[in-house]
Amino acid sequence: MNAEKFSRFRFSYHIQEEYDSQIMKQNVSLRALPQTDARQRICALSMHCPDFDCWTNSDGFGNRHWSLCCSDPHRTFDFTVEGTVLLSAAARCAGKDHPIYHMQTALTRPSSEMEGFSNEIKRPEDRSDGDCLAFAEAMSEKLYSDMSYRPGITGTGTTAAQAFELRGGVCQDYAHILLGLLRYHGISCRYAAGLAFESGKTHAWVEVYDRGSWYGIDPTNQCAAGTGYLKFSHGPDAFAASVSRGVYCGSAAYRTDIRSELKRV
C-alpha cells in the first residue's frame, strides 16, 4: 500500500505578452501541462487562451505541452492554466532511466574547477547499491554552502561553468551546476521545472536516479523536492525542459509578464 501523504494544492500559471505593434503567425509551445505520476495527481485542469488555436502533444522526454497558434494580426498573447493537484510529501517517483541523463550537455558541462570541487566528496563505491542519492544530497549541500542566490547576474544561456565561476545565480544555475557535478561522477540526473513553494515564480530543481526511482533535490533551497513541488517538465537541461518557447512574425518589441501560484487548500 502506498502510505505516502498527499496534500491538496491549487495552482495557476499565467503568461501575458504585449507587443508594441501588430504581429502575425505566432506559435507558442508551453510545457505547462503537468502530468499525473506517483508524486503528483492532477485532479482538475483548465486552460484559457483567447484567439489562439490550441492542441496538445508530447516531446521526447515524456513531457506534455500545449501548442498554440494564431495567424491573424494581434497584439497580445494571454495564456492561463489552472487546476487542483494532490502533491506527495515524498520526493520519490518511480520511473525509467535513460542514457541521455548521464551525458553532459553544453549547459551542464563542468569546468576543471567544478571537477576539482566535486572530487572533494567521496564517490559512491558501487552505483547499483543505491548511494547515488546520498552522494547527490551531500553534493547539493556542499554546493549550497558555496553559492549565493543572486538574481540578475546570470541569464537563460549561462552555463554551469560560468555560474560556478561567479559562485552565484538563480535556481536554473544551481540546477545546472549540480547536474554537471553529478554527471561527472556518472550519476544519472535531470533538470526539472515547475512551480514550488507557494511562490509567484517558476522554479527549477534536479531529479536524481537511484534504485528505480527519480528523487527530487532542490539545490537552491537545500532540501528535498517533496510537498509543494509541482513539476511541469524535465529534460537533460533547462533548454530541453524549457516551459515556454515561441516564435512570431513581426518586428514588435514585447513585454512579458509571468505570474504563477501554488497554494495549499
Partner 1 sequence: MKTIDDKRINRLLARNGVRFGIYKNGTFNEQLFPFDSIARVITHLEFETLQAGLIQRVDALNAFLEDIYHDGNAVRDGVVPEEFVYSAKGYLPECADITPPGSIHSHISGIDLVQDVDGSWTILEDNLRIPSGASYPLIARELSRIASPETFREQSIVDNRDYGDMLREAMDYANPGGISVILTPGRYNAAYFEHSYLAEKTGALLVGSASLFVKNNKLYHKDYKGGEVRVGAVYRRISDEYLDPLTFLPESLIGVPGIMDAYRAGNVALLNAPGNGVADDKGIYYFVPAMIRYYLGEKAVLKNAPTYLPFFEKDMELVMDRLDELVVKDVAEAGGYGVVFGSSLNGEDLEKLRQAVIAEPRRFIAQEVVDFRDMDVKENGETVPRKADLRAFVVTGSETRVWASGLTRFSRDPDSCIVNSSQGGGFKDTWVLSR
Q: Which residues bind partner 1 (CB under 8 A)?
A: 25, 27-29, 53, 55, 57-61, 67, 69, 71, 98-100, 102-104, 235-236, 240, 245-247
HSE of 196, CA atoms in CB hemisphere, 13 A: 24
Residue 59 or residue 137: which is nearer to partner 1 going by CB?
A: 59
How many Å separate Cα 103 from the centre of its chain?
18
Residue 105 or residue 213: which is nearer to partner 1 going by CB?
A: 105
Residue 54 or residue 138: which is nearer to partner 1 going by CB?
A: 54
CA distance 243 to 131: 31
Q: How far is the CB of 64 from partner 1 (least distance, A)?
A: 11
Q: How far is the CB of 119 from partner 1 (least distance, A)?
A: 20
Question: Which residues have a Cβ under 8 Å from the Cβ of 244 and sit 6 or more positions away?
Answer: 15, 28, 29, 30, 31, 32
Nearest to 8 by CA among 47, 46, 44: 44
Q: How far is the CB of 191 from partner 1 (least distance, A)?
A: 12
Q: How far is the CB of 106 from partner 1 (least distance, A)?
A: 11
Q: How far is the CB of 23 from partner 1 (least distance, A)?
A: 13
Residue 89 or residue 103: which is nearer to partner 1 going by CB?
A: 103
Residue 96 or residue 255: which is nearer to partner 1 going by CB?
A: 96
Residue 7 or residue 58: which is nearer to partner 1 going by CB?
A: 58
Cα–Cα separations (whole angstroms), residue 219 to 106, 160, 176, 207? 20, 13, 10, 10
Sort strands 40-48 and 74-88 into parallel, antiparallel or unpaired.
antiparallel
Q: How far is the CB of 183 from partner 1 (least distance, A)?
A: 11
